[in-house]
Amino acid sequence: MDSSKSKFINRMLPFLFLSMPLMVWLGMKYDYFDQEQIKASSDYITLNVSEQSCVQCHGHIQGFSKYHDPELIGCVACHSGNAAADDKLMAHQDMFVIPGNLSNAANTCGTCHQDELHKIEHSLMTTNSGLVAVDKFVFGETDTPDHHFDIRELGHSQADDHLRDLCANCHLGAQKTDLGPISQLSRGGGCNACHLNYSDKAKTQLTDYLASNKEKLPQMHPSTDIMVTDKHCFGCHSRSSRISTNYMGWHETLLDESAVTDTVSYKVFEDKRVYQYKGADVHHSKGLLCIDCHSSHEVMGDGKDYLHEEDAVSLSCSDCHYKDKPLTMTYDSLDKESMLVFMHRNYTHSDKEILKVKKDQHPLVNTYVEQGQVYLIGKKDGEKHLIKKQSEKCSRDEAHQSLSCASCHSQWAPRCIGCHNTYDDMAQGYDLLEKKMTKGTWIEHVFEFDAGLPAMGVRMAPEGKKIEPAIPGMILTIDHGNHKDSLLQDNTFERLYAPNAPHTITSESRSCASCHTDPAALGYGKGNLNYVLGPGSGTWVFEPEYALHPIDGLPEDAWIPFLKDFETEKISTRSDFRPFNLQEQQQMLRVGACLQCHKEDSKIMNESLKTGLNPLLLKLSDKCLLPKF
């Protein structure tokens, strides 16, 4: 075949491949074939790709997912290269050994999945906008954490170098450069980060291939599919707020691997971090994966640029655990993406109502309603789970309508305090963004990793204030002195908490006292909070567990001063999230005073859930000694 014909074929093949998902969608949209016909078909549409030269050397490789079989789409659809050439060097020209990295996705995965690639390019997992914005805000380089950024465009300011040295590994734009499966140590990889799966046989043959100096060619290819496991999420989401490890029940410690003798209560992960078991999320205990709740609509994004992770998450607990009746849609109302997921997972409930999310109306295709009951199909094993509606206690509680579900149902959350950041201009560092050694690096020193019930904070949302869990986001000292671009010579100290979704949900709610009489929950930090009775009234007295910080005089782990208004504006990693003000603190502790005598399940405390506390204060007993603020 002459070179002009070869070039023409190579140019036309991507357009043929690009048309396949469109033809499938049109077929479903206009009923050219029904769901059963799709299931019975072995492919989307048949192309004659048998003349591609790849098989002459590689043979007929197995292991592909149903819709990425080279018998259907060939090899160059993913790997590019010259499919018409017989010579190895010519055939491999412009080939991508690891397709799916965002650097090549426009020429590989994106030739068929253009919509998905557009969404991923704007996803927070790619831009890390919130991470960058908060770091720049803390370093004083911006006046708000609400600017939009892209981590791939970092410069070399103090905050940028801080991110490059400590944080810039975890974004989808990071290159996957080594052959092999996704592991706990994986970072980035573009489409591979979620969609690459190696069978045991594929792993073995890859090992043999590498050991043979790449002479023994594998016959088992890894699969590219929608079977996303929690391992795919782990590499990045076990960092920062550590959602992946929290979900599994593991809390990070500062212990060394050599100190671990109890392998039941402690676990050493692949990066040698040591974790202690604190209690798994109830959904994890039931065998549910991250993607059972967070579907493609959230994970890949919707193509919009969001500032922070909570802006991009549309799912809420009440979408599944409904109050009155579930919000549903029909199968024929599904969008194209959901229809394809439904087909790829071989679901059969097209005749039943499907749950949809209230905020953005996206469907949860692994759910359905049958005879008045709502079920979820686990994406890990296909097991059917009955979804329970809100408990009567939650639905009838009028006093706590402003609380998020996680406020009451989180078992524990991480609490990292005493972080000191110094810049050593003589030390050797590593730029995580550009993957190269550098001279000069930021070094982080951590005083303590702790875990316990989260504090509470107030989200000022358009629909009204919402109480959400909060954890120490940045209680840190920054030593600016040695950085070349430092505008400050003295240390700066910041005390900011962050909103948090701990992902340690339990069916049991936390006790009333654990909010209303717990100093950590109120933002004062750990310690002893006692109600001291006096003539005609009582007084709350707080003894902190940690020493007072020499700069602001608050306990090391505190968010706010005891029974005082906070005075600084830089108090949170979000502009719409804050601690309790003085009036709210007093209100919380007034209920705490009632709990000194009245049990949580007593008649009067149950009545307060319906009416609030104020009507009950009008008919106080003479024995009631409320605090005098």
**Strand pairing of 464-479 and 413-431?**
parallel
Residues in the chain: 629
Domain contains 465: yes
- Verify that 437 and 513 share a domain, yes or no: yes
Whether residue 410 sits in one domain with residue 527: yes
Quick one: which H or E segment has residue 28?
A: helix 3-29
The answer to whether residues 402 and 369 belong to one domain is no
Q: Where do runs of H (alpha helix) occur along 390-502?
A: 392-396, 405-409
Could you say which of 389, 420, 447 is where a domain stops? 389
Q: How many CB atoms lie within 10 A of CB 258?
A: 9
Residue 623 has a pLDDT of 87
| Four-residue CA torsion sign, 239, 228, 470, 252 | negative
- Tokens 């929690």 locate to 230
Q: Is residue 164 part of a domain?
A: no
The answer to whether position 524 is within a domain reads: yes
Residue 331 shares a structural domain with residue 366? yes
Q: For residue 505, is it within any domain?
A: yes
Quickly tell me which residue has 């759910």 as its tokens: 367
Do 347 and 450 lie in a common domain?
no
Report the domain count for the chain.
3
Same domain, 411 and 369: no
Specify the amino acid at residue 107: N
Let me know whether 380 and 514 are in one domain: no
Q: What is the domain extent for residue 331?
A: 322-389
Q: How far apart are alpha carbons 138 and 484 in whole angstroms? A: 18
Same domain, 332 and 425: no
Indicate if 414 and 368 belong to the same structural domain. Answer: no
**Does the predicted TM-score (pTM) go above 0.85?**
yes
Q: Alpha helix locations (H) across 313-455?
A: 317-320, 336-344, 392-396, 405-409
The answer as to whether 259 is a domain residue is no
Q: Which of 47, 79, 95 is the last residue of a domain?
A: 95
> Same structural domain for residues 383 and 402?
no
Q: Is residue 147 part of a domain?
A: no
pLDDT at site 271: 94
Q: Which of 206, 10, 215 is nearest to 95 (CA)?
A: 10
Residues 496 and 449 in one domain: yes
pLDDT of residue 172: 96
Dihedral of CA atoms 229, 245, 132, 455 in degrees, nearest 10, equals: 130
61, 95, 129 - which closes a domain: 95
Average pLDDT by consecutive 10-residue portion of the chain (629 residues)?
Answer: 45 44 39 40 44 83 91 90 90 95 96 94 96 95 96 95 95 96 96 97 96 94 96 94 96 95 95 96 98 95 95 95 94 95 96 97 97 96 95 76 94 92 93 95 92 96 92 90 70 94 95 96 97 94 96 95 92 97 96 94 88 85 89
- Whether residues 470 and 584 share a domain: the answer is yes
